[in-house]
Structure 1
């Protein structure tokens, strides 16, 4: 988490999509259910992106005021249970639901944080 005041905690994570399911995974994410999109936005998942490498490595990024609250908020929605159940079969070695079983990566650099620190007297 950054040391200066920021409205959002930056979260980056990885998962592995099964190679034989990558085309369908892309298709499903080209048109995510509108109710799911609204649920994510209303529970604190902002600036959310997924990036998929040709070998199945999936990198996700989002910003949230509070990761635990964002995950709890989604867990309380019916649409999330349906979406996560359908998405779970796409991943390799998943421990739990995709939205909680991901491997969170550690942020080691952020341009804005360092620029802000450098400009502070």
Structure 2
């Protein structure tokens, strides 16, 4: 199992709405994530500066990203969420996140 951690930055003025939308994630989006191999997915937000940390597990990151990239619901979700993020320079959040290096793991 591959453990993936990433970071993004949410615009300060949009943090409340970002959180609200993640309390109501579309059921079709949840189904798409599960069916393309995303598991144990969590998102953490630092409201002080908008730093976002995400974590999920998957058998294969490239396959999980490619699978989501083929779904219509992901295209709709990414378009809907694009205004929330800083510094993505025209790419979707699921393609523009900064993948973090794992340096320690306690099992």
User: With structure 1 as the length reference, what TM-score do the two structures score?
Assistant: 0.85
Cα distance in structure 2, aligned partners of 1:34 and 1:99? 18
Provide Cα deviations, 1:56-104, integer angstroms capped at 9, x if missing partner: 0000000000000000000110000000001111000014110111000
- The structure 1 segments of at least 4 consecutive aligned residues displaced by more than 6 Å after TM superposition are none
CA RMSD of aligned residues (A): 0.6
Match of 1:37 in 2: 30
Compute the displacement of 1:12 (Å): 0.2
Note the 1:33-112 alignment, pairs <5 A: 33-54=26-47, 55-95=49-89, 96-112=91-107
Q: Unpaired segments of 5 or more residues in structure 1? A: 1-7, 113-121
Residues matched between the structures, number: 105
TM-score by length of 2: 0.96
